[in-house]
Chain A
Amino acid sequence: MEKEIVLTMRGIYKSFPNVKALQNIDFTLRKGEIHALMGENGAGKSTLIKVLTGVYTKDEGEIRIDGINDPITVRSPQEAQNYGISTVYQEVTLCPNLTVAENMFIGRGNGKVVKWKEMEKKAGTLLESLGIPARPKQQLGSCSLAVQQMVAIARAVDTDCKVLILDEPTSSLDDKEVAMLFSLMRDLKDRGVGIIFVTHFLEQVYEVSDRITVLRNGELVGEYEIEKLPQVELVAKMMGKELESLSVIKKDASAASADKEPLYEAKNLSSSETKPFDFRIAKGEVNGFTGLLGSGRSESVRAIYGADRVTGGSVTMNGKPVKITSPKQAMKNGIGYLPENRRRDGIIADLSVRDNIILALQVMKGFFHPFSKAQAEAFADEYIKALDIKTASSDTPIKSLSGGNQQKVILARWLLTHPQYLILDEPTRGIDVGTKTEIQKLVLKLAEEGMSITFISSEIEEMLRTCSRLIVMRDRKIVGELTGDDLTQDHVMLTIAGGDK
């Protein structure tokens, strides 16, 4: 059944300095459909949405909307609204101090006086017709997040909306609230509104969507009917691997390490950002967390390191119970953590390479017992040489180094503390291929010497090359553990996608 098309985007290009964010993207939205827009981080989802809503201006391409003959140019979110394109963002963009009715009508229409009675009556009718459990006179802040989101949707719908964009609307809702939101979405769909649904929750896509458009690295991968794209294929498309053509990478069967007794073991560990999970790692083992963006892999290692507020669970190291609720305690127990965001959490940009290297050791020694300059120099030189860090001198500020060399400095910082257990979160992101291989080799060498390492990377090949055990996460839960012969790209992707679906 071919339905009327409400929105067409053809040949959209958008680039930023150094980045081609969107290249030749086509997108069509039909009346009364829920169309999922999928892609990994940096795929171009948000850029496309922002082009459509006028936050960015496109470089090339045309946008057509039902009812207007000429291609439209959208210069601001307000203009987008006038064309009937409304957006509800992840964070609720309403005013919590005003009433529900006010939030639905403020900033709209003319007239200097607020007609409370009329406004509240209109709001009440609309809320009721959409089945939204909010009262017009209620202060918005007293509603649950889900209801606030629904009020935002009600507002959007009331402005004669043809295209409704929901940008990650479910990321802070619980299951019940998600169900409420979905029933509202289906209701709107029946009324003929075209809904663009951006999310990274695979199951939710399959629960509610009609079609899927997949983007990758700013390019269009394809547009699919939901029935014709099994979940595992969707994952393959998002990650850019054709399932059939996957070459199986054989991994040395060094899975024997799993039998060794664990160096670190956590039971029911949970933090403010994760659900409880079990985890263990043996001496000299390299394992890894894998999963799509937002699946909770970084959050898990942050919980292990005590970087987020730990809320429960028990941890043993070398068989003895320990308490790790802060990075400092983790360091005292011989755990090192190389954070995902190097620029924000890793380097101290204005300090020298030397000071950056000795930082962790200095923290452990205490700031009232500083290293002598000669000693610091010796440490720095040793590791600059050992890791082949390309820097003019150890006095050079770290910000003038390349990304790869900065990463090596952070690595040196941890190696200097001789940790028993090192966590590397995306250590190779954004660095050149040569350095990448160096770091991978280093990881394997350190493991041989007896260090336990947890490795996280978005690139599955890299994980398969280095890890002897992979823990697979989906929607913030551990959904599988792969070792030995199971460590193939096919298997990993199948597990990420959720088995046979």
Chain B
Amino acid sequence: MMKSNVSYPGQKRKEPISDTMLLMSITIGIFVVMYALAMIILKGGFLKPQMLFDMLNDNAYLIIISCSLTIVMITGSIDISVGSVTALVTMVDVMILNGNLHLFDGLQKALGVGDEFRIVFAAVMSLAIGLAFGVVQGYLIAYLEIQPFIITLAGLFFGRGMVTIISVDPQKAPQNLMDILQTRINMPLLGSPNKKGVIIPAHIEIGVVIALVILILVFILLRKFRLGRNFYAVGGNRQSALMLGVNVRRTRFLAHMLSGLLAGIAGFVFMMHVGAGNATNATASEMNAIATSIIGGTLLTGGVGNVIGTMFGVLTLTTIKAIVVTSGLRDPWWQSITTGAMLCFFILLQSVVLSRRGRGGFHLPPWLKKAEKKEGT
């Protein structure tokens, strides 16, 4: 009843919601409904805030590589190497923390710093590896115009192969360093009582903070910065973007570079969470990242997407998995099946929503007709 289509002169018109915002709102809505239903029906862990925080703790790295995928997918490209880069970085970081890499061992002695300083080495190395992948892949894709799928598929195999070369056996990081890295940020107010009635404070890990900071930075980049808007332009229509004066090659290069860099950070965050390097770390996580981006409203065709949506994509995906597990379907294939079904559902939903929007076609909207009449009289 409050809705009124009559506009008065001087009154600001409310713009129809954009495709990006529309798809994102749908995802957020579905997540909220799903989580609420889980709280009502399944109860148990879902009533404790820690359930949500654990989802974040377990999936901080996924949030980061999902940001990678959202960025490259907005430009109409794809990067499936991020999972392997994550695994490679994790392994290298663990080796550094263990003092197994002579270069850093020597450097540490030369500088005369303690073992804690190895964390800095690991962080720098994480960024370097991610950046290296991003730069090489970005160059091949943007400047030599090779199919992004092929290039990043090569990156996927290469990265995973490197992990195995470094160590076939799982490597564990030293406990004293892990104690530092796994520092918990406690939130007593959100805690819940255990069986003995003692309040256990809710906690998140540092990795979650890193992931959220990155999320906000990427959000600002995409919204406020010229580069971010160029990502959208290139993804919307590459030819048009070129004609409009956007440096398309540079834009695509930077998107892939950023994607690699974020994957490096994701590797560090993953290492912080698991504390061990393993050849099977983060396997197929690039596929999860694609799924979460799509669920969050990013279109594979490019030009539409938003990291806030992606964030909720991650939450939706992990909530579904948690629901499956707490419902008693503990075999891992149930998670795969539900993930697949959900992805299908979201893509269907998106295409239905977008095609319904587009159905108006090129008819003049009513307000425009009004304007014309005014001119005529």
Contacts and interface: CB of A to CB of B under 8 A. Distances in A.
A133 B368 CA distance: 6
A458 interface: no
A111 B368 contact: no
B221 to A, nearest CB: 10
Contact of A114 (B229, B371, B372): B229
A262 B229 CA distance: 62
A89 B20 CA distance: 27
B371 A133 contact: yes
A78 to B, nearest CB: 6
A81 B375 CA distance: 32
A447 to B, nearest CB: 44
A208 interface: no
Interface in B225-243: 225-230, 232-233, 235-237, 239-241, 243
B362 A96 contact: no
A172 B195 CA distance: 72
Interface stretch (B11-19, B46-54, B281-289, B335-343): B11-19
Contacts of B13: 135
B225 A112 contact: yes
B362 A144 contact: yes
B229 A106 contact: yes
Contacts of B18: 99, 139
A95 B225 contact: no
Interface in B214-271: 223-230, 232-233, 235-237, 239-241, 243-246
B356 to A, nearest CB: 13
Contacts of B360: 142
B233 A106 contact: yes
A95 B364 contact: no
A102 B229 contact: yes
Contacts of B229: 98, 102, 106, 114
Interface in A98-121: 98-99, 102-103, 106-108, 111-114, 116
Given A96-B237, A98-B236, A113 B226 contact: yes
Contacts of B233: 95, 98, 102, 106-107
A37 B15 CA distance: 40
Given A114-B225, A133-B371, A142 B16 contact: yes
B246 A107 contact: yes
B238 to A, nearest CB: 9
B363 interface: yes
Given A102-B229, A142-B16, A95 B236 contact: yes
Contacts of B225: 112-114
A393 interface: no
Contacts of B367: 133
Interface in B86-123: none
B303 interface: yes
B235 A97 contact: yes
A132 to B, nearest CB: 10
A108 B229 CA distance: 12
A137 interface: yes
B304 interface: yes
Nearest to B18: A139
B330 to A, nearest CB: 42
Nearest to A148: B362
A397 interface: no
Given A113-B225, A114-B229, A95 B241 contact: yes
A423 B188 CA distance: 84
Contacts of A138: 15-16
A77 B239 CA distance: 13
Contact of B246 (A106, A112, A135): A106
B236 A139 contact: no
B268 to A, nearest CB: 27
Contacts of A133: 367-368, 371-372
Nearest to B368: A133
Given A106-B244, A135-B13, A139-B16, A95 B303 contact: yes
Contacts of B239: 93
A255 interface: no
Contact of B15 (A95, A97, A137): A137
A97 B363 contact: no
A317 interface: no
A95 B232 contact: yes
A139 B362 CA distance: 13
Contacts of B245: 78, 81, 106-108
Contacts of B365: 142, 144
A116 B18 CA distance: 16
Interface of A: 77-78, 81, 89, 92-99, 102-103, 106-108, 111-114, 116, 131, 133, 135, 137-139, 141-142, 144-145, 147, 155, 176, 180
Closest 5 CB pairs of A and B: A107-B245, A95-B236, A97-B236, A97-B303, A107-B244
Interface of B: 13, 15-16, 18-20, 223-230, 232-233, 235-237, 239-241, 243-246, 303-304, 358, 360, 362-365, 367-368, 371-372, 375
Given A114-B229, A133-B371, 6 more contacts: A94-B237, A97-B235, A97-B236, A103-B244, A106-B244, A114-B225
13 contacts: A81-B245, A95-B240, A95-B244, A96-B237, A97-B235, A97-B237, A98-B236, A99-B18, A106-B241, A108-B245, A133-B367, A142-B16, A142-B360
